[in-house]
Structure 1
Amino acid sequence: MFEIFQSDKNQKFYFNLKAANGQIILSSQGYESKNGAEKGIKSVQENADDDSKYERKTASNGKFHFNLKAGNGQIVGSSQMYSSEAGMENGIASVKNHTSGAKIKDLTES
């Protein structure tokens, strides 16, 4: 499930992709409008199955993480940190598995 929310700090809109167990598996950058966040979700849906769109990275502390990039090369989502490369690859597989047909829950609506 995708969840759209607005930050109290900067008033920007964000989305998270959550697995069935509620764990966040991909988080967005901040968008100026809710429409921007919705377009970001659409980009995730369009690019999630393309393995070449995943940028795999190792942080300075030795942990692993990834970014999902759009067709224009911009980052549309980033993962959490993983203690192993295998964990990161499982995270990518989870994004691929949970994106197609995922519902969108708008937490900005009262």
Structure 2
Amino acid sequence: MAGKFELYKDKGGEFRFRLKAGNGEAVGASEGYKAKASAENGIESVKKNAAEEGRYEYKEGKNGKWYFNLKASNGQVILSSQAYADESGAKAGAKAVGRAVDGAKTDDQT
């Protein structure tokens, strides 16, 4: 089941997006962008790179929780995950990104 991108403006006035899985669970979020077009380009980059396993970077935080970053071909982080209890959870979350972007539409909430 396809997920969706939610494009929104944060309290600081920057554009951001989050990716939600088909079940409505958030599986990743972007950094802030000054321009809406830049956030839209970020969404397209996530769609393009999500299927490539080598684009994911897994890290353990200082709190012992695991997370992942999805990077574009230039090495820039384009999507970051929530915290997971262990590395296998983070890897499962990355697979959820791959499933969610397939056919995902953008819900523009700006």
Provide the C-alpha distance between the structure 2 equivalents of 1:93 and 1:42, rounded to a whole number of angstroms. 18
Residue 4 of structure 1, aligned match among 7, 23, 28: 7
Aligned-residue offset at 1:35: 0.6
Provide the C-alpha distance between the structure 2 equivalents of 1:66 and 1:107, rounded to a whole number of angstroms. 26
Structure 2 gaps of 5+ residues are: none
Aligned-residue offset at 1:107: 0.5
Residue 37 of structure 1, aligned match among 20, 36, 39: 39
Residue 78 of structure 1, aligned match among 54, 77, 80: 80
% identical equivalent positions: 45
Who is 2:55 aligned against?
53
Aligned-residue offset at 1:13: 0.1
Aligned-residue offset at 1:100: 1.8
Aligned-residue offset at 1:22: 1.4
The TM-score normalised by the length of structure 2 is 0.94
Aligned-residue offset at 1:64: 0.4
Provide the C-alpha distance between the structure 2 equivalents of 1:13 and 1:70, rounded to a whole number of angstroms. 19
Aligned-residue offset at 1:34: 0.9
What is the alpha-carbon root mean square deviation over aligned residues?
A: 0.7
Give the match's secondary structure for 1:92.
helix
Give the match's secondary structure for 1:62.
coil
Runs of 4+ in 1 over 3 A off after TM superposition: none
Provide the C-alpha distance between the structure 2 equivalents of 1:96 and 1:19, rounded to a whole number of angstroms. 10
Residue 91 of structure 1, aligned match among 79, 90, 93: 93
